[in-house]
Amino acid sequence: MKVKSNGKKYLSLVTLYFSLVALLSSCSSPGEHIFRKTAFLMDTLVTITVVSATKENAEKTTDAAFSEIGSLAKLFDFFSPESEISKINKNAGISEVKVSPDVIELLEKATYISDKTGGAFDVTIGPIERLYDFHKKIKPQEEEIRKNLPLVNYKDLIMNRDRSTVFLRKKGMLIDPGGIAKGYAADKATAVLIKNGIRSGIVAVAGDIKTFGLKPDGTPWRIGIRNPRAKDGEDDIMATVLLSDKAISTSGDYERFFIEDGKRYHHLLDPRTGHSAALCKCVSVIAKEGYFADALATGIFVIGPERGIKILEKLGFDGLIVDSQNQIYITPKIRGKIEFKRTVEQYHFS
Amino acid sequence: MSLKELLSSTTSADRFLFLLLLLLSLSGILFVKEVLPGGSTVQIEANGRPAYILPLDKDGTVTVEGPLGKTLIEIKNQRVRVADSPCSNKLCIEQGWVKSGTIICLPNRVVIRVGDHDKSTTVDATTG
């Protein structure tokens, strides 16, 4: 009897042991997996990451989100004559143009951020933007800038939500939504994913990133912040930050630029001077919504680090700024949450 | 036999052996997951579709087809580069050799990612 009882006991112990080991070893794969898919939309690379139980569901939902971004791209495309933005631009100083709710919403958000940044971010920057070609190393004469600057003013962008119309007051004005459209698209694509039952993921429209939910292992998403002066890809990530239900965007003077006579000409133009803003090397903004992070990163880049950090704090957002002198500024709330790859002193950004 | 009955019928030696086995198994799991290297890979996508996943430590060249034509990718000495591309701006070629991160050729829709994407230290996305 005793032998039988001991046998039963050890059998039960062995069963318990294997059950525990199986449970522990399966902890990192609880049935949900991370799926990632890319597409070329809005003239850039869009990567959507979702947590899903099946590949089929991940494919279906990411395709719906890509489709949303594709639809927005058609409305906002600065270069396509068929886009609603181009129609507004063509009718500048002539007549108001009936537009889709998304165009009104985007422009309302853009003008709101223009107000918050004192015009440092301005969606009507188009007349100045078109004077530069950073790939062909073309920059305008001072006279051309002087002539076009009066056409840049978000206060001359008139929206009527009731009639769903937009009007640019002066002939020659041009809306270029490039500084806000990608963040806005990331927000809208995220909404589509959530509506389709996805509880966790990332929408990255180039460097404009929106995160939601947690990874299958219960940790937040780890987002890398690019080193503004990375060499041969070795130190391309300057720092990482853990995010969930937050958006992050970065504006840097290394995206589209050329150097002439030792001076860097880049695409982040000051709407008040028509020249490349010179106070920062890169600005990352963390906000609840992608459109805010996107547009504010541009605006703060123009404003500069000291006032920029104060504006971020006032708005309740977080951010990291590398200024032109390689000084790093971080909002107090995320100090300690940003993990630098090296000590700050080891960076030589110039 | 319930868990309570089972535990009350075991001796201290039984419980010690059980815990020891459990610890050994756990350390085995951790060893496999964390210590054994996964190896860096080169992940290549063309036109939005995965084309190749190649080890970074094996030298060689590979060609992928984009909308403009063929992009030639070279892996050498644990680095990767675009050796030839039909795009007009050649920015992907200008980027040169990379050991980590991403090379993107927007015109020919080719994306090359370098890194071990299974490791928890790898970033999930990059801003900038």
Instruction: Choose the closest CB to B127 out of A24, A230, A284.
Output: A284
Q: According to the model, what pLDDT value does residue B18 have?
A: 79
B65 has a pLDDT exceeding 80: yes
Are B128 and A222 an interchain contact pair (Cβ–Cβ within 8 Å)? no
**Amino acid symbol at A196:** N
Q: d(Cα A330, Cα A322) in Å, to the nearest integer?
A: 9
Structural domain spans, chain B: 3-35, 41-115
Domain positions in chain A: 30-78+176-212, 79-175, 220-350
| A300/A330 Cα distance (integer angstroms) | 13
pLDDT category at B19 given cuts 50, 70, 90 is: confident
Helix (H) or strand (E) holding B53: strand B49-55
Cross-chain Cβ contact B98/A233 below 8 Å: yes
DSSP track, A249-284: EEEETTSSEEEETTEEEES-B-TTTSSB--SEEEEE
3-state SS class at A181: helix
- Of the candidates A135, A128, A131, A130, the one whose C-alpha atom is nearest the C-alpha of residue A258 is A135
Q: Would you call A38 and B95 a contact, using CB atoms and an 8 Å cutoff?
A: no
Which option is the CATH number for A30-78+176-212: 2.160.10.10, 3.20.20.105, 3.10.520.10, 3.40.30.10?
A: 3.10.520.10
Q: Are A271 and A120 in contact (CB under 8 A)?
A: yes
pTM, 2 dp: 0.81
Q: How many CB atoms lie within 10 A of CB A59?
A: 14
Least CB-CB distance to A44: which of B100, B106, B124? B106
Percent of chain A clearing pLDDT 90 (strictly above): 82
Q: Which residues pair with A239 in a beta bridge?
A: A225, A340
Are the beta carbons of A163 and A95 closer than 8 angstroms? no
Is B101 within 8 Å of A21 when comparing Cβ atoms? no
From A35, which residue of chain B is nearest by alpha-carbon distance?
B124
| Nearest one of B128, B100, B102, B124 to A242, comparing CA atoms | B124
Residue numbers of chain A with a pLDDT score lower than 50? 1, 3, 26-29, 346-350
β-strands A165-168, A157-160 pairing: antiparallel
Q: Cα–Cα distances in Å, from B12 out to A171, B8, B15, B19, B40?
A: 90, 10, 5, 11, 46
pLDDT over 50 at B28, yes or no: yes
pLDDT-based confidence at residue B120 (cuts at 50, 70, 90) = very low
| Beta-bridge partners for A124 | none
Which is higher by pLDDT, B17 or A9? B17
Strand partners, A269: A276
Cβ of B98 under 8 Å from any chain A Cβ?
yes
Would the CA dihedral through B103, B96, A339, B40 be positive or negative?
positive
Inspect the interface and report whether the beta carbons of A233 and B97 lie closer than 8 Å.
Answer: yes
Tell which A residues from 1 to 30 touch B, by Cβ distance under 8 Å: 5, 8-9, 12-13, 16-17, 20-21, 24-25, 28
Nearest residue of A to residue B29, measured between CA atoms: A25
What are A204-257's pLDDT values in tens digits? 999 999 999 999 999 999 999 999 987 755 578 899 999 999 999 999 999 899
Q: Report which of B25, B23, B63, B28 is spatially closest to residue B46, judged by C-alpha positions.
A: B63
- Which chain A residue has the Cα nearest residue B44? A38
Contacts of A248 in chain B (CB under 8 A): 127
Phi, psi (degrees; rounded to nearest 5) at B123? -75, 150
Does B1 lie at the interface with A, CB-CB under 8 angstroms? yes
Q: Any idea which architecture B41-115 has in CATH?
A: Sandwich (2.60)
Q: What is the CATH number of domain A220-350?
A: 3.10.520.10
Using 50, 70 and 90 to split pLDDT, how confident is the model at B37? very low
Dmax (CA) for chain B in angstroms is 78
**Contact with chain B for residue A284, Cβ under 8 A:** yes
B87: tokens are: 């795009």
Q: How far apart are CA A257 and CA B95, in angstroms?
A: 14
Q: Looking at the domain A79-175, which fold is it?
A: T-fold (1.10.3980)
The reply to whether A220-350 shares the fold of A79-175 is no
